[in-house]
Amino acid sequence: GQQVMQIPQYQHVQEGEDFTTYCNSSTTLSNIQWYKQRPGGHPVFLIQLVKSGEVKKQKRLTFQFGEAKKNSSLHITATQTTDVGTYFCAGQPSFGAGTTVTVRA
C-alpha cells in the first residue's frame, strides 16, 4: 500500500535559522497536504499541493511538490518560537511520521 516517509524525525533549530523537512511517497500522489500540530493540540491544515512542481508560500513557509509527484518539502525561513510543533505531510490516507521541531532561543 501507499506509504509516506518523512525526514528528519526531529529538527532542533536555532531561532532565526532556516530548515527543511522532506516527504517521500512510494507511489505517485494525486495531491499532498501539510499539517501542523502544536504540543497538546490537534493537527491543523496548512496547505494542499496538487500540481507537479507546484510551489506555494505562506509567509515564511515554502511548500513544494516534486515534478514526479512522489515527494514534497516544507522549508521554513528565519525560524521563530511560534514554529514549534510537529509538521506532518499526508498523501491520503497515509500520514508521514512527522518532523518535530524545537527552537533554541
Q: Which residues bind another protein (CB under 8 A)?
A: 1, 31, 33, 35, 41-45, 48, 88, 90, 92-98, 100
Residue number with CB closer to another protein (56 or 77): 56
Cα angle value 19/22/47 (rounded, 5°): 90
Minimum CB–partner distance for residue 35 and another protein (Å): 8
Give the whole-angstrom CA distance, residue 52 versus residue 15.
Answer: 32
Nearer to another protein, 44 or 78 (CB): 44
Q: Establish whether the linkage from the previous residue to 39 is cis, with ω within 30° of 0.
A: no
Q: Give the cell for residue 50.
A: 496538487
Q: Give least dist CB 99 to another protein, A.
A: 11
Gap between the Cα atoms of 38 and 47, Å rounded: 16
Q: By C-beta, is 66 or 96 nearer to another protein?
A: 96
